[in-house]
Structure formats: C-alpha cells, structure tokens
Amino acid sequence: MLIRHNAPNPLKNWQVNRNDIRFLGRNLQRPECILTEPDGTVWSADARGGLVRMTHSGEQEIINPFQDTGTELNTADKQADSARYIASVGSLPNGVCFDSNGNFIIANWGTNHLERMTRDGRMTTLLTEIDGQPLGKTNFPLRDAKGRIWFTVTTRTEPWSDQINTRATDGYIALLDETGARIVAEGFCGTNEIRFDDNEEWLYVVESSAWKISRMRVKPNGDLYDRETYGPERLDGFPDGFAFDAYGNLWVTLIFTDVLVAITPDGEVLTLLDDSNPDTRKRLFDAYESRSVTPEILAATQGTICPWMASLSFGDTDLKTVYLGSLRGTSVPYFQSPVCGQKMIHWR
C-alpha cells in the first residue's frame, strides 16, 4: 500500500458525519461480510445460506442454494434470529472472499465448514475437519496472490460464546493449497478477520476476545513467524473486521459497541464513528472484566446505525466508499472516505 509518511494523515481531525451515511439493500439477514467489485457491485453474506448481490441502481438478488428468497422478518422472528446468531444454528455464511475464478469461498459460522459457492448458487463443501478434528468456528477466508486460501477458526469452544469469558487461546489460522489444508499458526484468542499488506509480507489478524490486532511475517511456503501485536496491546472493545486504506491506516470495527476506529502507521488510535450506548457498553465491559459475559448481555448491546458492526469494505470505482457489515442489520450503511482503500486481490 502507499504509505506517505511525509504527507498529512487524511484521517487526522476527520470523523464520519452521521448525516452523510446512506444505506444499500433491503430486508437483508445478517450481512456480516461485504465484498465489492470494480464495476460497483456489492455483495453481502446472508443468513438464508448464500449471498445477496446489490447495485446502487436498486438491483438486488439473493444467490442462495437453499432457494429461500425470504421476506422481511417480523419482530418475533428478529428476536428468534438474534438468539439463533448467538447459538449459531443452521447455515450462517460469515466471512467471504472470491476465489481465482470469481466464485465465493465461504466460512460458515453455523455449519463450521469451509464452502465454495458459484455465482449461480451451486454449493460445495471444501473442508469439515483438519488434522482429523472438526474445524471449529470457521470465521473468515482470504485469497493470496498465489491463489491459496487462508482461513481463520475463532475457537473450538462450544458454545463459542463461552470463549469470551474463558479467553481460551484455541483459535488458529489455516492454509488451503494444492497439497491440502494445514494449520500455519495457532494460539489466538478469538481469531477473526485476516488481511495482508500489499506485498503479502505480513499477515494481520484480529484477536477479538483479546481486544487486539496481531501480525506475523509470511514465508513463501505459507509458514508464519515473528508474531507481534500491531498497535496498542489492548483496544477499547472487541475488534471484528478491518481493512487498510492507501495511507496505511488500519480501519477496525468494534462489534457489540459499534465503534469504528483506525490505527495509524504510528500506532495511534483514531475514533471515526462512535454509535455505542453508554449504559449497555459499560455493562458489557464490566462483564468482560469479570469474565461473566452472557448471551443476554451481548444481545442487549448494540448501536442504531449498524447493529453489531462486524466488518468494512472499500468500494466504488475510486475505492473511497466505505461499506459496513453487521450481524443484526437489514441493510448496508455506507459513506465517503477522505482516502481510498487498499486494493483487494480481486481488484488487481
């Protein structure tokens, strides 16, 4: 990425203006991960088992192997689905990336599988176990320049929400290539999204339950080494998704409290959008410190713009439009950034 140390950081003294936030899509279900394409197409993961394709001209299409186009949920259904998302029952596409052929690699949070879905909705299960053991909570896949698929597993703890209190370091990163799948790094506390720098020399990883970002150097064969914390040892909340901009700022979503921050190349943390509720935030943070977080405390904690803000993606033709993914929203908030995003591998 282009890091201009001699130029002023475009995020200094800048924040998202709430009045400038717009919304894309309608009646979405758990749009956790957002993918953008150079032609302006926006995709979101969808709890009905596939993805939703959207355009700014108003087109919207569900690509779903289960043939459930769905309708807007009523209030009772929303409450049931909130419980379902915590319990993780059924097919719940979570992190998504494009493979080399433009089809989708899906980390399925509900089935604990790694899947591939074609653009016309044909689903194939790629992986259900590794080293003879079930994968665990598959979270996020990422393709590199060599066409290999990296993916994270948050935890093998069941139910997964217990890991927030135990802080079990049973999360890992695995690599799927022509020789099969293998674990390349482990011992993470709530492994979530992963991203490369432009040259794929470093792999960055979110450790959600440890409230921090780590990174490791990457060997040509995919081995990872020299693990270190990137930015502060502890952020002010649960990081979930992240993305680099062209200056080198790392934008990070803090789920549950719904705060968007950026870690500058110098390690400073800038708050770009704070949609937290002070009362529910304090209750959650107190429970986190005492290791007594419950599903009820989690369910009661959220903002209003992008409830359970889980990810972000830069898009549009100039990569200056930021799209936010969420677990409990029904549309995709978006706004303009003063700096363009890093080009993902499918943009190059």
For the chain, give every domain's residue range. Answer: 20-347
Closest-CA residue to 49 (of 21, 25, 30, 36)? 30
CB 153 within 8 A of CB 135: yes
Closest-CA residue to 327 (of 348, 298, 347)? 298
| Amino acid of residue 16 | V
Q: Longest C-alpha distance within the chain, in Å? A: 54
Q: What is the CA radius of gyration of the chain?
A: 18
Alpha carbon distances (Å) from 189 to 113, 126, 318: 20, 25, 35
pLDDT of residue 86: 67
CB 165 within 8 A of CB 142: no
Close Cβ partners of 121 (under 8 Å, ≥ 6 residues apart): 50, 63, 64, 65
Classify domain 20-347 at the CATH superfamily level.
TolB, C-terminal domain (2.120.10.30)
Instruction: Starting at the earlier edge strand, list the strands of the sheet with 123-127.
Output: 93-98, 104-108, 113-117, 123-127
- Phi then psi dihedrals of residue 74, to 5 deg: -85, 175
pLDDT of residue 273: 98
Q: Which residues pair with 230 in a beta bridge?
A: 213
- The distance of Cα 177 from the centroid of its chain, to the nearest Å, equals 22
Q: How far apart are CA 286 and CA 307, in angstroms?
A: 20
Close Cβ partners of 75 (under 8 Å, ≥ 6 residues apart): none
CB atoms within 10 A of CB 95: 27
pLDDT of residue 39: 93
Q: pLDDT by residue for the chain (348 residues), tens digit each? A: 455 557 899 999 999 999 999 999 999 999 999 999 999 999 999 998 899 999 999 999 999 877 655 544 444 455 555 556 666 777 899 999 999 999 999 999 999 999 999 999 999 999 999 999 999 999 999 999 999 999 999 999 988 999 999 999 999 999 999 999 999 999 999 999 999 999 999 999 999 999 999 999 999 999 999 999 999 999 999 999 999 999 999 999 999 999 999 999 999 999 999 999 999 999 999 999 999 999 899 989 999 999 999 999 999 999 999 999 999 999 999 999 999 999 998 988
Q: How far apart are CA 322 and CA 23, in angstroms?
A: 11
Which two structure tokens, joined as six digits, stand for 172?
């890992």
Q: How far apart are CA 152 and CA 164, in angstroms?
A: 17
Q: How far apart are CA 66 and CA 58, in angstroms?
A: 24
Length in residues, the chain: 348
pTM over 0.85: yes
CB 256 within 8 A of CB 284: yes
Q: How far apart are CA 155 and CA 188, in angstroms?
A: 9
Q: How far apart are CA 173 and CA 26, in angstroms?
A: 34
CB atoms within 10 A of CB 58: 9
